[in-house]
Structure 1
Amino acid sequence: MTRAAATAIGFTAILLWALLALFTVGSAPVPPLQLNAICFTIGGAIGLVWCAARPGGFARMLAPGWKVIAFGTTGLFGYHLLYFSALRVAPPAQAGLIAYLWPLFIVLFSGLLPGEKLRAGHIIGALLGFAGAAVVITGDGGGFTREWALGYGLAFACALTWSSYSVLSRRLGTAPSEVVTLFCLASALLSVVAHLALEQTAWPQGTLGWASMIALGLGPVGLAFYTWDIGMKRGNIQLLGTASYAAPLLSTLALVLADVAKPTEWLAASALLISLGAALAARASRRAAKLTSPKSKSPTG
């Protein structure tokens, strides 16, 4: 597989994640843990079919060991539980935008790793991203609404969870993409147990609701994990990282086109600020990498 092909495959994950909020809304009133269980079961089934079709696929799926599996399961399970919960108790467009602070947090947290440091671009980008979150929470002249405070808090925790997972995953090294199958299946099992203990079972309403739930498991909470993993390991990471900052805009646009969210100037401003903040912070990281790379140093040192 060429680098360009892997990059194109990875980009499909961004397009699928742009539909995450829309399909989550459509799957109501299925509770978060039950939705987690169903979607990850579908996502795990996709992985099993893929492993069966590839020689040695199941061996590669089990190769990384329990620490990697436990870490990946925690990241996927935690992120989606928080995300589904946030969109059940707060306006989906607003909660979704707050959750999409994760690209910005990834850049900020990576700047705290050994050998890295935060720069002015990181700080400015963070301020723009937080300004976007403030706009979406307090916009339309309504100020902060306690009714949706829990949802906004869950969305913020969601962004922190995925960004922390992404940065910490660097310490585990590379693992075969097939292991994502176990992440999904283990997350599904955890969700089933927690759902039976904590939630009342509910099913989607009508054909559209069922289609949304199935599409959620097939795409944003299924195929996207595998295509993103391939893109990260074999494609152009810088290009994919930059493209991911369009996700808040694409997600908001999908909700507006589906008439789930109103196209207000506050929503547009928030999406632009969050995307711009993440892109600016990423640009600071790329410039720092160029300055510290061996090629950027003169022959005389």
Structure 2
Amino acid sequence: MRFNRRRAALLATIPLAALSLTALPATAASAPAATVSRYVPLAGTSADATAARNAGCEEGKTGRGGVRILFFGTQEKNNVLRHPGTRADSSTPRVPAAQAAAFAAQWAEGFTSCRTGTAQAILALGVNNKSDGGVGGADAGRAWARVVEDAAKTVPAGPVSIAAAFDAEPVWSDRAWARGWVDAFTGATSRSLYAANSADGCPGYGSSSTSCSNGWSLADLHYVATGAAPSIRAIPQIYRTDGIQARQWAAISAWGARSGKGNVRFVGAMSQRKACEQRGGCSTTNNTPQAAWTQLYEELNSHSDTKVAELPYSTDMRWP
């Protein structure tokens, strides 16, 4: 989950004819005010603490509750993190994963000191499923559970609660790696895990296909977004302006209903409008937060087997 022109171009090649173009309802509930989620390329210096406090303070001043996700990038062997949006051959600094917990503590301090009103923030610490870091999925999941639990110990009781996030994308690992990560994480902690996933190559609602990219299936996407444990909540990437991603997630949820696994446990939608603006613009993946949320809400409520009563959260990605 990141701004990536190559992946945007790949998404744009998905044939519309292969995806259900179901008519949407005439009206929908109003989208909630969006929170700001961030990619966090840790520097491993005192600048991290300043950046964290400033980011938390900025969100506290909005007086807005809800989920905020901090994506720290890719887990590598020896329990270090590689910057978001980089490859294994990148020369960017690697920093100990423990520094993500320290960043969270400073973010919480900033939010608490600057907040207006009684806003409560859920701060979800996230990584992706890139499997090129020399660590197995299960080991990575257990290691991230320790980071999240350590962060929770350093954040005092108050307006900020600590959770986790996972950006699972089929093009980044085989399905076994991602399933192993989720199983290990949820086996090690009961803290909420926010699934901010993509559904690369999956069909839209109404298709007879169940296949997605890189050998994944609807069953795999459902598993890592809901099925693996009751602590998982889905807040998927709805970047595309043409609504394809909302239709893909409706298909995943409908698969769950048909198979007896249950609908996807949706809690909101993720957009990347700000990240696109910061990187010079996106041609087809720059939904506004309101548009992303509305696409998902309306698509789900267009079908009797995917209806949702509410989607309480909307969040928009940005770079620091």
Provide the TM-score with structure 1 as the length reference. Answer: 0.23
Structure with more helix by fraction: 1
Provide the TM-score with structure 2 as the length reference. Answer: 0.22
Structure with more strand by fraction: 2
Structure 1 or 2, whichever has the larger Rg, is: 1
